[in-house]
Structure 1
Amino acid sequence: MDIVSYEETVIDVQTNGEKVVNMEFHIGWLILLTIIGAILGGGTNIIAIHMLFRPHRAMYIGSYQIPFTPGLIPKRRNELAVQLGKLVEEHLVTPEGIQKRINQGPFMNDLETKIQQLLHDFLHQELSFDEWLKTNTNRSWSVTTIKDAIRNGLYNKLNGIALRYQSKPLEEIIPPEWNSRLEEYIPRMTTTILDKVEVYVISDEGRGKIDEMISRFFETRGSVGGFLGRMVNRSSLTSIMIKELTKLLHEDKTKELLNDWLKREYHQYLKKSPDEILENIEVSNKVEKMVDLILSETPIIRDLERPMKEWAYQYEDIIITSIVPSFMSEVTKLLEKHLKNTIKRIGIRNIVEEQVNTFPLQRLETILILVAKRELKMIAILGALIGGLVGLFQGLLIMIVL
């Protein structure tokens, strides 16, 4: 090998070596830039996620507030609370949604079943209602206080009515439809009276009374009357009197006279006031006795001091099968009618705003991170992937340029 060939070979080896070294250098930079890009991309996303919550308070250098402090959510907490309250009230917890849930869901049926079970247990307990009241109201209520309250209420009501109407004529007190009914009943009363009189007249007691009246008639007429009484056959005279009285009772004129008389007396009676009818009677005493009679004869009030299982079962069927369903129906109607206004009065928006503003930020951060842990991790990985791709792209551009 000559000297020229040797030199060319040495130069060629040196050139290839430099190329290998340059290639390794570029690949190293490419990997390094990719790693740096991935770290920056993922780290930036992690920092951004934490900056949603942190720092919780504004930070200062002297009087200068450091940018991005506090975090986004602490900084915008009041605005977030307002928007969440508005969202919940207008779109989430709406009267229409609640009403739909009540009507279509099992809520009302479950509530009715629960009430029926509670009432069943209540009505079959060993305690009396008096004992139950004393136990559950710290002895502030008892059957005695209930009775006194009912007695006072009834007495005040009835006595007030009596005092209000005692000086007014009956025609102003009795409702017009009652008055019409009573007047329509007078002809029937006339017929009934005449029929009763006829039955009495032809009965043995009536015959005896008429015979007695005839005897007394002759005895009060002196000796002549007594003589005539002995001469007359009283049995025949009694039969004649009964026959004539019966004939008189069947005449239309008798019925007309009695009917007119009853109407006249009825209209005169209507012009009188209760004071005139019940003269010399103390109304308050009568009302008090009436109230005591009502309380003593009302079954539930009378049994309140006995064990409930001994008497309450009588009312269980009507309470559970009639009263409770009717009560639930009325509750549903009331909900339909007043639910919207009730929700507005409750102020769900204000409740949400208050809860959001007072909820601890650290706890909120922990909850959100736990709930969205997988998604947040994917965001960090995606940031690292994008950063790595950007670093790789930059490395390739550098290799091309160099």
Structure 2
Amino acid sequence: MNTVGLIIFMVVTGSLIAGFTNMLAIRMLFRPYEAKYIFGIKLPFSPGVIPSRRSEASTKLGKIITGHLLTPDVFINKVKSPETDRFIMNFIDRQIATIEEEKLSIGYFLERLHPGLSEKVISGFNQELENKISEESDRLYTSRIEDLVPRDAMHTIDMKVMQFQPEIIRKLEAYMTSDKGYEDLYIMTDEFIEKRGRVAKSLKYFMTKENIALNIQKELVKLINHPKMFEIMERFIMEEYTKVKGRTVNDFLSEDDKEELVSSISSVLEERIDIRSLLDRPIIEFNKEYFISFKERGKYRLKDNTIDYLAHNMGRIMDKLQLAEVIKKQIDSFELAHIENLVMEVAKKEFQMITLLGFILGAVIGLFQGIVVVLL
């Protein structure tokens, strides 16, 4: 082989070896996707570099993105940007217009969150209302009467009870001296005389029934106005009143009566509150003046508060989102062929340049080697 042919052979050989080596190296970044075995022995460089380091690469990539690219400061700056301000303001305006034009209700938004949520809210509210009433009734059921009445009201009742005795005396005296009182005394006197045998009947020969009734009437009036009777009645009223105050509600109501009362109160409150009509009522009808005020001025405060909340809590929000873990899971979920295609599409020109550079460098090295061989 002559000198020129040898040099050309060395150049072509070096170019092909270097070029195909680079092509094979690029190919081995992804291929093979899985480990290959011959006679139970794992072949070296299988699987490819990226498949074998996939989990480690996705973890580091997630940390790099969240640690240097998608940091809380980046999101905070974005949230505080004029573009975000306009976006949030436009979003609020659209929602206000929709609520006003379509007369949307709270129930509508609940159903949008989850079908059947309105019914759950209604049943939950009514159940909670009944539970609270039942709990309070259990407490009141074993409470004393005087503990249930407010102190000021109890004092007023005490004063009223102390005035019962003079009032009762006045009522009794008015009754005794009235025609009705005389008539009742006459009837009772007549029945007493007629039913008590001869001795009692003989009284009517000495006194008329009218006189007997009049004398009884006078004596009863004297009796109820006697100072001792005042003391007896006052003591009796206060003793009975004190007993009543010290008794508990369950002394007056049975368990069945309590349950019936609780059910009745719950039904009345559910009917009066009517949470269903409140949920179905258009939002703008709750308070039109407040809605207009919110539409004109309140929406700006809502926008500012939303931005401030997002800015101040962005770190915690990102911690809750766990973006690094999300990125890792997304990358791990990709098929290797899909990742390979993505990388190849993005770096296709660069890989071609690397392959071409391999051919060129191989040719240069081959030329150098050919010259060295000829000179030696």
- Is the CA contact (8 Å cut-off) linking 1:35 and 1:388 kept in structure 2? yes
1:133 positional shift: 7.1
> Partners in 2 of 1:304 and 1:60 — Cα distance?
67
Measure, in 2, the Cα distance between the counterparts of 1:34 and 1:88: 45
Match of 1:71 in 2: 48
Please name the residue that 2:32 is paired with: 55
Offset at residue 397 of structure 1 (A): 1.2
Corresponding position: 1:324 with 2:275: no
Corresponding residue for 1:395? 370
User: In the TM superposition, what is the alpha-carbon distance from 1:369 to its structure 2 partner?
Assistant: 0.5
SS in structure 2 at match of 1:124 = helix
> CA deviation digits over 1:143-181, x for unaligned, max 9?
x949x76x959x97xx99xx9x975557xxxxxxxxxxx
- Label 1:71 to 1:132 Cα distance change in 2 as closer, same or farther (>3 A): closer
Confirm whether residue 109 of structure 1 aligns to residue 86 of structure 2: yes
Kept in 1: contact 2:79–2:311 (CA 8 A)? no
Residue 51 of structure 1 deviates from its aligned partner by: 0.7
The match for 1:354 is 329
Q: Which runs of 5+ in 2 are unaligned?
A: 141-146, 153-244, 246-261
Within 5 A, what are the aligned runs for 1:241-390? 315-390=290-365
In the alignment, what sits opposite 1:40? 17
Residue 125 of structure 1 aligns with which residue?
Answer: 102
Contact kept, 8 Å, 1:124 with 1:309, in 2: the verdict is no
1:396 deviates by 1.0
The residue identity in structure 2 corresponding to 1:397 is: V
Summarize deviations over 1:204-233 as a string: whole Å, max 9, x none: xxxxxxxxxxxxxxxxxxxxxxxxxxxxxx
- Scaled by the length of structure 2, the TM-score of the pair is 0.56
Distance in 2 between the 1:137 and 1:365 partners?
A: 40
- Measure, in 1, the Cα distance between the counterparts of 2:322 and 2:109: 37
The amino acid that maps onto 1:326 is R
* Match in the other structure for 2:61: 84
Residue 141 of structure 1 aligns to a residue whose secondary structure is helix
Please say if residues 120 and 316 of structure 1, whose CA atoms lie closer than 8 Å, have aligned partners that are also in contact.
no
- Aligned partner of 2:196 in structure 1 is none
Give the drift of 1:366: 0.5
2: distance between equivalents of 1:97 and 1:131? 36
Listed as ranges, the gaps of 5+ residues in structure 1 are: 1-21, 171-274, 276-283
Contact 2:16 2:362 survives alignment (8 Å): yes
- Cα distance, 1:104 vs structure 2: 2.0
* 1:90-137 Cα distance to aligned partner (Å, 9 max, x none): 222211211111112512330221121122122112677778877987
Greater displacement, 372-381 / 355-364: 355-364
Partners in 2 of 1:27 and 1:88 — Cα distance? 55
Q: Tell me the residue number matched to 1:29.
A: 6
- C-alpha separation in 1, matches of 2:25 and 2:43: 16
When residues 356 and 145 of structure 1 are mapped into structure 2, their CA distance, relative to the original with a 3 A threshold, is closer
Give the alignment's TM-score, normalised by structure 1: 0.53
Aligned positions of 1:206-217 closer than 5 A: none
**How many residue pairs are counted as aligned between the two chains?**
266
Shift of 1:321: 2.9
User: 1:28 offset after TM fit, Å?
Assistant: 1.4
Cα deviation for residue 364 of structure 1 reads: 0.4
Classify 1:316/1:120 alpha carbon distance in 2 versus 1 (closer, same or farther; 3 Å).
farther
Identical positions, percent: 25
Letter in 2 for 1:65: K
